[in-house]
Amino acid sequence: MRMWIQLFFKKNTLFVDAFSIGISGIIAYVAYFDFQSWGVASYYHLAIVFGIFLSVIIFPWFGVNLRYRQRIFLSVSKLILAWLTVVAVMIIVAFSLKISVVFSRIWIVSWTFFGAIMLLLMRVIVHHGLYYVIAKRSQYLSKIVVVGGPSLARKLLKNIKTSEPYVSVKVMAFFDHGVQDLKCIPEKYSIETLSTFVEENKIDEVWVTSQNIESSQLEIILHQLRLKLVTVRFVANLLSFRLINASITHKYGLPIITISESPMRSGINRFLKGVEDRLLASLILILICPLILIIAIITKLTSPGPVFFLQERVGWNGKAFMMLKFRSMPINVEKNSGPVWAKKGEDRATSFGRFLRKTSLDELPQFLNVLKGEMSIVGPRPERPFFVEKFKHEIPNYMQKHLVKGGITGWAQINGWRGNTDLHQRIEHDIFYIENWSVQFDIQIIVITIFRSFFDKNAC
């Protein structure tokens, strides 16, 4: 798709959202009051303008910018969460300024509801309306051909269709030595006819894979394509690798492909993650101090031994640290058995300890680990060295979870993969988190954790 269309969708996102918020606020007012009084409702005017102003600031921070290639409901949760955050900030400001009594509670609830509906509705209109009218016209499609091995070509085409439900490219043909039968590609040709086909069909891009092509022939192909006004893209054959935050950079005059890298290698990412962890951990500890005191007293009264339990865990870059928990089992419970994998309905736990583990309240002291910089609030759950040594040989990509700090909660946990559940699924979710890390993603996980903390059937 041409660059100006991409810019059109990107630049008009905030306008579409601002329009939705403004109109929904007016609709909510007229529905509850009447249209005649709208002209003198100055506080409501200011509230709507303030809501639009906050959306301009908060929405991009949540990563809800409209993408012309994005599935229409892919970011619904982000969009709704961002809008609820805007409403929450407005309510806090109203109470702080002691003007909350000016506004009707029913209007606030109605605006929140109509706002969510309008935001989603306008995105449907923009995607299915403007995109169809502008982007689906053939003159705006990028015509591409694929050169190389069939398996990589299939993977490439599958990914294009998966990541672009509104396809902005049109695959015209596939070129290979044996002219393999690929049902997903309309035409198959021999590599020798590539140059002529590109010129006659006004191809925009040629995607060259490294499969089934010798280096000498690759040089000939690239030389021929340099004589054409066509964009050439090289697709590396990395199908056998699990790519985590893969990227290509130029160092010392050479193109370097990074196959696996921590998102925390970036200084700005480390800074943002550190601020997020320490700020939220400090606020949470202040709020839960009374709860921690109550749990400590009950733990001491119901079971002999210390209140807290220190256990060695493996964290970021494989570095060991001592993780803090409320003690939920009798002391020296593993003295004879050695390390035992925790299971649902743990018989070894004390009566109060079972409650702590079921509600995850035994994890609260780990906010101190977060303040010390040993853990994050959100991240893959850290494991004991004994099990790390065991699982790294049994579970593919297990060690990749240590590319970030271990967390109190995580993407795997809120999706039900905690406790005695499938480790393969848990690691897949951990890696997905690492691949897609952002401050916004962390906040989503924290919010979902709060709602699910008392309802997790896999807690143990």
pLDDT 10s digits, 36-63:
777 667 888 899 999 999 988 888 777 6
- The mean per-residue pLDDT over the stretch 439-444 comes to 86
CATH superfamily assigned to domain 141-240? NAD(P)-binding Rossmann-like Domain (3.40.50.720)
The CA-CA-CA angle for residues 64, 70, 72, to 5°, reads: 80
User: Considering just the CA atoms, what is the radius of gyration of the chain in Å?
Assistant: 28
User: pLDDT grade, residue 455 (50/70/90)?
Assistant: low
pLDDT digits (tens, 9 = 90+) for 319-345: 999 999 999 888 776 665 566 666 655
Query: Looking at residues 175-200, what average pLDDT do you find?
Result: 72
What gap in Å lies between CA 404 and CA 376, rounded to an integer? 9
**Residue 209: which of 201, 197, 198, 217 has the closest Cα?**
217
pLDDT in tens, 192-212: 888 889 888 888 888 887 666
Residue of 360, 330, 363, 379 lying closest to 455 (CA atoms): 360
Tens digits of per-residue pLDDT, 99-146?
888 888 999 999 999 999 999 888 777 766 666 655 555 555 678 888
Residues 146-157: tens digit of each pLDDT: 887 677 677 777
The answer to whether 182 and 153 have CB atoms below 8 angstroms apart is yes
Q: What is the pLDDT of residue 207?
A: 87
Q: Choose between 17 and 140: higher pLDDT.
A: 17
Q: Say yes or no to pLDDT of 430 above 50.
A: yes
pLDDT of residue 1: 46
Over residues 81-92, mean pLDDT: 90
The helix (run of H) or strand (run of E) holding residue 143 is: strand 142-147
- What percent of the chain is predicted at pLDDT more than 70? 79
Spatial separation of the C-alpha atoms in residues 134 and 138, rounded to whole Å: 9
Say what the pLDDT of residue 73 is: 47
CA–CA distances in Å: residue 54 to residues 10, 19, 50, 97, 272? 18, 13, 6, 17, 21
CB 324 within 8 A of CB 365: yes
Asked if 363 contacts 324 with a C-beta cutoff of 8 angstroms, the reply is: no
Residue 244, token pair as written in the block: 């985590």
Which of these, 273, 289, 266, 374, lies nearest to 323 by C-alpha position?
Answer: 374
Q: Which residue has the higher pLDDT, 169 or 50?
A: 50
Q: Which residue has the tokens 């256990």?
A: 311
Residue 65's pLDDT is 59
β-pairing, 308-314 with 320-326?
A: antiparallel
CA distance 250 to 420: 44
pLDDT at residue 85 greater than cutoff 50: yes
Portions of the chain given CATH number 3.40.50.720? 141-240
Dist CA 342 CA 394 (whole Å)? 18
Per-residue pLDDT reduced to its tens digit, 226-264? 888 888 888 877 766 778 888 888 888 888 888 888 999
Angle value at C-alpha 20, between 18 and 23, nearest 5 degrees: 105
The pLDDT of residue 457: 52
